[in-house]
Amino acid sequence: MTSPSYAAIDQYLEQLFTPPDEALEHALRASEAAGLPAIQVSATQGKFLHLMARMAGARRILELGTLGGYSAIWLARALPQGGRLVSLEFDPKHAAVARANLAHAGLADCTEVIVGAALDTLATLVQRGSAPFDFIFIDADKPNYPTYLDWCLRLSRPGTVIVADNVVRSGAVLAPAPSDANAHGAHAFNAQLAADARLDATVLQLVGGKGHDGMAIAIVKG
Q: Are 62 and 155 in contact (CB under 8 A)?
A: yes
Tell me whether residue 63 or residue 139 sits nearer to Mg ion (CB atom): 139
Tell me whether residue 150 or residue 200 sits nearer to ligand SAH (CB atom): 150
Q: Does 42 bind ligand DHB (CB under 6 A)?
A: no
Tell me whether residue 8 or residue 181 sits nearer to ligand SAH (CB atom): 181
Q: Are 163 and 216 in contact (CB under 8 A)?
A: yes
Beta strands in 25-147 (DSSP E): 60-64, 84-89, 111-115, 135-138
Residue 145 identity: Y
Q: Judged by CB under 5 A, which of 139, 183, 209, 215 binds Mg ion?
A: 139
Q: Is the dihedral of CA 104, 21, 206, 195 positive or negative?
A: positive
Q: Are 205 and 191 in contact (CB under 8 A)?
A: no
Residues in the chain: 222
Q: How far is the CB of 88 from ligand SAH (least distance, A)?
A: 5
Q: Judged by CB under 6 A, which of 63, 89, 134, 165 binds ligand DHB?
A: 165
Using CB under 6 A as the binding rule, the residues of this chain from 118 to 147 that contact ligand DHB are 139
Q: Does 90 bind ligand SAH (CB under 6 A)?
A: yes
Q: Are 69 and 95 in contact (CB under 8 A)?
A: no
Q: Does 39 bind ligand DHB (CB under 6 A)?
A: yes
Tell me whether residue 69 or residue 199 sits nearer to ligand SAH (CB atom): 69
Q: Stretches 7-15, 89-97, 124-132, 207-215: which one binds ligand SAH (CB under 6 A)? A: 89-97
Tell me whether residue 118 or residue 220 sits nearer to ligand SAH (CB atom): 118
Q: How far is the CB of 148 from ligand DHB (least distance, A)?
A: 13
Beta strands across the sheet bearing 135-138:
111-115, 84-89, 60-64, 135-138, 161-165, 213-220, 199-206
Q: Are 208 and 9 in contact (CB under 8 A)?
A: yes
Report how far apart the first and last C-alpha atoms of the chain are (Å, whole number).
Answer: 49
Q: Judged by CB under 5 A, which of 31, 101, 166, 190 binds Mg ion?
A: 166
The partner in contact with residue 117, picked from ligand DHB, Mg ion, ligand SAH, none with C-beta cut-offs of 5 to 8 angstroms by kind, is: ligand SAH
Q: Does 67 bind ligand SAH (CB under 6 A)?
A: yes
- 8: number of Cβ within 10 Å: 12
Q: Which residues of the chain form contacts with ligand SAH (CB under 6 A)? A: 39-41, 65-67, 70-71, 88-91, 94, 117-118, 139-141
